Amino acid sequence: MDRTALDLWVGVFVAAGLAALLVLAFKVGNMSGFKMSDAYTVTAEFDNIGGLKPRAAVKSAGVVVGRVSQIAFDDKTYEATVTLSLDKRYAFPKDTIAAILTSGLLGEQYIGLDAGGSEKKLASGDRIQITQSAVVLENLISQFLYSKAGGGSVRSPTPSATGTPEK
Amino acid sequence: MTGIGVFFSAIGRRVIDSIWRLGYATRFMALTLLRSGTSLTRFSLVIREIYSSGVLSLIIIVVSGLFVGMVLGLQGYETLKTYGAEQSLGVLVALSLVRELGPVVAALLFASRAGSAITAEIGLMKTTEQLKALEMMAIDPIARIVAPRFWGGVISMPLLAAIFSVMGIFGGYVVGVVLIGVDDGSFWSQMQAAVDVRHDVINGVIKSGVFGFAVTAIALFEGYDATPTAEGVSRATTRTVVTSSLAILALDFILTAFMFKGV
C-alpha cells in the first residue's frame, strides 16, 4: 500500500479535529485549572443554604480548595447537611468556620472557609462545628425596613436573617 | 368502497408501508454493522470516505463556524451589556457552541453537504446497476460500498463538530475582544471557569457522534433504497436532507434532556 495525497489530507483533517478537541479541553474547558487529585470529605450543617448547588466551589482566602459534593436535608434537626470534598494538600484546623458567601452582588454562591487557631486538623468524616448560613436578601431588606420604621435604632424583632427559609 | 373507506385504507397503507421501511432500514443497519470487518482490514477504504465526507466538508464547517461565533459575539454583547455583564461573553459563546450549536449546526451542514452526496452516489450506483454488478462478482456491496462510508461519516462528524466549536469561539473572540474591546483576561478565565470538560465538552462530542451515526445511516439507507430512476435518486436525496435534519433536532432534544436535567 502506497502513501497517497489522500492520506495526507485525511491526516491533516484528523490532526485538526484532535487539536480542536484539545483546545476545547484545555483552553476553553477547565481541565488545566483546579482538579481534585486526592480529596477528603467533611460535613457542615447550615440553617439555610440559600442557592448553594452541588459542585459549588469551596474557597479559603479566595483560593479554590475543594467542591461541594452533596447537599442533603436532615429531618431530625431540620438543617441542611452539606458534604464538602477538600483537596488532600490542604489541612484545616478543627475550629474552622464555614460560611456560605456570594461572589459579587448577584453571583453564584460558594462556601468560604475561615481557618481557626486549633492545633488539631480536620480529618475525613469530621463535622465543621461553626457555620454561617447564606444571607437571604429578602430577609435583610425586611429587617432593614423594620428597623427604619421602628425609629432608626437597630433592633431585631424579626427572626434572624438566617433562620427562615428562603422565599 | 365509499370515499371514507378509500381515505382510511390510504392512511393504513402509508402506515404499514412506513413501518415496513423502518424494519428494512433496521435490518440494513444491522447488516452494515455486522459486515464492517472489511472496513477495518482495508482501512484505506474508510480513509477515502473520511476524505470525501470529512475533508471536503472542512471549508463550509470552518467558515460557518466563524460566522456563527461572530454573530454570537455581537448578539451576546448587545444583551449582556444591559446587565453590565460583558465579561461573561466568553461563557455565553463557549457554552452555547460546545453544548448545542457546535454539534447541531455542524451536523445539519454535514447532512446537506456529505449526506446528500452519499445518497446521490449510492442511488446512482443502484440506478446504473453497479451494486448488482458487484454482487455478480461475489463482492458484497454492503461490506465494500456501504460500511466504509458509514464509518467514514461516524469518524468525521465529531471532528467536524469540534472544529466548528473552536472556530466559533475564535469568531466570538475576534468580535468580542478584538473589535468591541471586552477584557481579554476575563473573556478566557470566565470561560474556563464555566465550561466543564466532562459535563460540556465530552457531552458535546457524544452528541456529535450520535448525529454522525444518524445522518450517515439515513443517507446510506435512502441511497440504497432509492427507486432506480433519475427522479427516484433526486427524491431520495431530498428525503435524506429532510429526514436527517429532523432526526438531528429530535435526537438533540432527547440527548439534552438526558445530559442536562436542569440540576
Name residue, grid cell 473552536: B166
CA distances from B175 to A134, B93, B129, B181 (A): 38, 11, 52, 8
CB-CB under 8 Å, A10 with B201: no
Task: Supply φ then ψ for residue A70, to 5 degrees.
Answer: -155, 145
pLDDT of residue B162: 94
CB-CB under 8 Å, B162 with A21: yes
Over its C-alpha atoms, chain A yields an Rg (Å, rounded) of 23
Task: Let me know: does B204 contact B99? Beta carbons within 8 Å.
Answer: yes
CA distances from A118 to A85, A87, A96, A130, A154 (A): 21, 19, 8, 13, 34
Task: Let me know: does A158 contact A143? Beta carbons within 8 Å.
Answer: yes
pTM for the model? 0.74
Mutate: best of A24, A59, A70, A106, partner B, most B CBs <10 A: A24
Q: What is the band of A106 on the pLDDT scale with cuts at 50, 70, 90?
A: low
Neighbouring residues of A16: CB distance < 8 A, sequence distance ≥ 6: B58, B159, B163
Task: Give the closest of A28, A30, A54 to B169, CB-based.
Answer: A28
> In DSSP terms, which residues pair with A46 in a beta bridge?
A80
CB-CB under 8 Å, A7 with B47: yes
> In DSSP terms, which residues pair with A99 in a beta bridge?
A112, A132
Dihedral sign, Cα of residue B164, residue B167, residue B170, residue B174 = negative
pLDDT digits (tens, 9 = 90+) for B235-256: 999 999 999 999 999 999 999 9
Residue A164 pLDDT > 50: no
User: Can you read off the three cell numbers belonging to residue A5?
Assistant: 495525497
* A34 inside 8 A of chain B by CB: no
State how far residue A59 is from chain B, nearest Cα, in angstroms.
14
Q: In sequence order, what DSSP letters do the residues of B168-200 get, joined into one string?
A: HHHHHHIIIIIII---HHHHHHHHHHH--IIII
pLDDT of residue B233: 94
Per-chain mean pLDDT for chain A: 80
How confident is the prediction along chain B (263 residues), in pLDDT tens digits per residue? 678 889 999 999 999 998 999 999 999 999 999 988 888 888 888 999 999 999 999 999 999 999 999 999 999 999 988 887 888 888 899 999 999 999 999 999 999 999 999 999 999 999 999 999 999 999 888 888 999 999 999 999 999 999 999 999 999 999 999 999 888 878 888 888 788 888 888 999 999 999 999 999 999 999 999 999 999 999 999 999 999 999 999 999 999 998 887 55
Cα(B55)–Cα(B85) distance, rounded to whole angstroms?
Answer: 39
Enumerate the H helices of B35-183 as residue ranges: 37-41, 43-49, 58-82, 89-95, 102-110, 116-127, 130-136, 141, 147-173
pLDDT of residue A160: 47
* B165 inside 8 A of chain A by CB: yes
pLDDT of residue A31: 60
Counting residues of chain A whose pLDDT is more than 90, the rounded percentage is: 10
* B114 inside 8 A of chain A by CB: no
* B192 inside 8 A of chain A by CB: yes
Higher-confidence position of A158 and A92: A92
Task: Let me know: does B99 contact B195? Beta carbons within 8 Å.
Answer: no
